[in-house]
Amino acid sequence: MNVSQAIKQRHSTRAFTQQAVNIEVIKNLINTAKHAPSGVNMQPWQVAVVQGKTKQTLSEGMINAFRNKNTESMDYHYYPTEWVQPYKSRRVETGKKLYEALDIQREDKEKRLAQWEANYRAFDAPIMLLFFIDESLETGSYLDYGMFLQNIMLLAEEAGLATCPQGALGEFPTLIKETLKIDKNKKLIGGMAIGYKDTNHPVNQYRTTRIELDEFCSFYD
């Protein structure tokens, strides 16, 4: 597999098999991903690899908090506070396609809530990665972090694994940091589900669209 193939075939997987993932494979992925560039080589990434009983405890804690409306504020703003075009339309289209793939009707609130709760289980993937950053760091380090995350996802493709980067796993920072005994001064960026894709599940059949080159790229002579 070359880089172009890995980029094009990667997609956010939301249903996984229960096949175990060798932890050495995960270690190798992260150890290679660390070669991402970062401003003045700060290497801002701090990763928690969560599986087994700890993953179950975290997932149950987030789901219970969600059901009981014990919401938290994320450590940073991931999404805009006000949606404008064209981003609003892209968001709506993505959500519509997801629920169509799952055959969940707009008015079926119970199924929609159940699907949202699946976020907090990392879609039942055997491995949940959680990403933290020092609160002293600024926007540039978040850009660096994105390259590190992309490295993990592309390396996972090469290893035959599937991933789903998840902002939703950043919605309960206090709960997660207290459970994992992470310094409260670290910011929780979000997480990632990683495991083997359930190729037969309908949620893994749909794909989001990408805009054409001339819609976002200008050339100057």
Nearest to 38 by CA among 48, 46, 28, 50: 46
Quickly state the pLDDT bin for 1 (edges 50, 70, 90). confident
Cβ within 8 Å of residue 139, ≥6 positions away = none
Q: Could you tell me the two tokens for 85?
A: 């075009």
**3-78+120-204 CATH choice from 3.40.50.360, 3.40.109.10, 3.50.50.60, 3.40.50.1980:** 3.40.109.10
Tokens of 217: 């790229």
**Structure tokens, 77:** 């703003």
Residues in CB range of 72: below 8 A, 6 or more apart:
65, 171, 172, 173, 174, 175
Residue 169: pLDDT band (50, 70, 90) is very high
Tens digits of residue pLDDT in 119-152: 999 999 999 999 999 999 999 999 999 999 999 9
pLDDT (0 to 100) of residue 17: 96
Task: List strand residue ranges (DSSP E) for the chain, in order.
Answer: 46-50, 127-134, 162-166, 186-195
The pLDDT of residue 9 is: 93
Residue 108 has pLDDT above 90, yes or no: no
- The DSSP bridge pattern shows strands 186-195 and 162-166 to be antiparallel
